[in-house]
Amino acid sequence: MSVVACTAGDPKKENTSGPVTDTLPPVETSKPNTNYSPAFKGQTRINGMKTKTPFTGKVLTDKLSRPWGMTALPDGRLLITQKAGTMVIVSATGKVSDPITGIPGVNSKGQGGLLGITLDPEFSNNRMVYWVFSESTPDGNLTAVAKGRLANNEKTIENAQIIYRATPAHNSNLHYGGRILFDKDGYLFVSTGERSDIQTRPQAQQLNSALGKVLRITKEGKPAPGNPFENKPEDHPEIWSYGHRNVQGLAINPVTRDLWGSEFGPLGGDEINLIMPGKNYGWPTITYGLEYSGATIGNGITQKEGMEQPVYYWDPVISPSGMVFCSSANIPEWKNNLFVCGLSGQHIARLRIENNRVTGEERILSKEGQRFRDIIQGKDGNLYTVTDQGRLYKLEKK
C-alpha cells in the first residue's frame, strides 16, 4: 500500500473562523483554447485554495481493471464496475474479489462498457443493484439501465434484467453518459450522452430523443411521476433536463438536495451544472468550447435566452467524470464541497460552492499521473476514488 502525503496550505491564506477569502491565484495557468468571455464573474478560473488539514491519499489496491463506477455496501466495502463488463467487491484492506457473474454482456469498445452503479435504498432488505452499460442492438449501440439482486454469496447477480434503453440507437462508441443515482423519492437519475457525431448532436435539443439528457425513471424503468414533460405525449416523459453533451458525473447536494452534473465539453468548455427539471443546457447551440479541429461550433455563441449557463467551466478541459459532494466533517473544510474527477486533467478538483456559485478551487492528487474516473464518500466518511489505470485511493485525515 502506497501513501501520498498531502500537506496543508499557508494558514494565512484562509480564514477558517468566518467566511473564507482566498488570495491564491487560480489553479489553472495554461492558456485557454478560446477567447470567449464568461457570462459572470467566477464562472471560470476562480481563486485557488488549499486544504489546511493534513491528509493522505492511500492506494488500497492497483489491481482493478479499468474501474468506472462504484458504490459503498452497507458494511463499507466497495462494489465496483469494470469497463470490460465485470463487477468486483473491494475490502477495506484493498482485497479484490473474483468477478461477479450474471451480468448482461456489454459493448466495451471506445467509451462504452459497464458504467455507473448504485444500490437500492432498501438494499439491506432486497439486495438490489442498478447499473448503466452500453448495449449493442441490431440498430446500433445505446445506453441501457439494468438491475439485479446481488446473491447472498456475492458471487453473482441474480435475475438481471434491462429496465430502460435510451433510444435511438446509433453506431458510435462514444458519449454514453452513464451515471446513475437515486433521488430522495426513490427514483433514479440517469445521464446519457448525445453519441458525439455531428448527425446526432441535434438530438440533445430534441425532446423525442433520449440522447444528451438527464433522465428520471422508476425502479421498473418507467418515467417517474412529476417529470417536467410527463403531460406532453410527443415528448419522452422520462426526460428531466436536456441539451447535454456527455454527462459523466451526477451528485446531489447534501444541504439543498439539488442535483448537479459534470459535462464534457469539446476543445474547452467542460461544465459543472445545477440540473433543474425541464431546463435546456444548450448543447450544441451554446458552448464555451471549440471543435477539436479548432473550428467554432454552430454560430460560435456562448449565451442564448432560454438556455442555462454552466455554474462553472474549464478551458482547457480537465475531462470531468464522476463527482460527489462531501457531507462528512472528517476533514472539516471539505464538508459540503464538490469533488470532481479529472481524466485528462489527472487530478481531483475540489470546488467550494456557496449560493450556487463556485468560490474556490483546489487540485488534489495532481502528482499521481492518474486518470481519475469516479469518486464517492464511503461509510466511514472518507472519500474513495478510482482511476483508469486500476488504482483505488482512500483520502483521509493524517
pLDDT digits (tens, 9 = 90+) for 241-260: 999 999 999 999 999 999 99
Is residue 311 within 8 Å of 357, Cβ to Cβ? Answer: yes
Per-residue pLDDT reduced to its tens digit, 187-231: 999 999 999 999 999 999 999 999 999 999 999 999 999 999 999
For the segment 313-333, the average pLDDT, to the nearest whole number, is 98
Report the CATH number that the domain containing residue 354 is assigned in CATH.
2.120.10.30
Band (14; pLDDT cuts 50, 70, 90)? very low
Q: Quick one: which of 246, 259, 323 has its CA closest to 69?
A: 323
316 prior amide bond cis, ω within 30: yes
Distance, in Å, from the CA atom of 264 to the CA atom of 249, rounded to the nearest integer, reads 9
In a domain, 318, yes or no: yes
Look at the chain and report how many structural domains it folds into: 1
13 occurs within a structural domain? no
Judged on CB neighbours under 10 Å (0-12, 13-18, 19+), 313 is buried
Tell me which residues are annotated as active site. 175
Q: Do the domain assignments include residue 16?
A: no
Is 381 domain-assigned?
Answer: yes
Domain of residue 158 covers 2-8+22-397
To the nearest whole percent, how much of the chain has pLDDT over 90?
94
Q: How far apart are CA 254 and CA 10, in angstroms?
A: 29
Separation of alpha carbons 154 and 282, rounded Å: 43
List CB contacts of 295: < 8 A, sequence separation 6 or more. Answer: none
- Does 15 fall in a domain? no
For the beta carbon of residue 219, count every other beta carbon within 10 angstroms.
Answer: 18
- Residue 168 within a domain: yes
Distance (Å, rounded) from C-alpha 351 to C-alpha 338? Answer: 5
Using the predicted structure, report yes or no on whether residue 10 has a pLDDT greater than 80: no
Torsion of CA 337, 343, 344, 349, to 10 degrees: 10
In a domain, 14, yes or no: no
Instruction: Read off the DSSP letter of residue 379.
Output: T
Residue 130 lies in a domain: yes
Q: How confident is the model at residue 308 (pLDDT cuts 50, 70, 90)?
A: very high
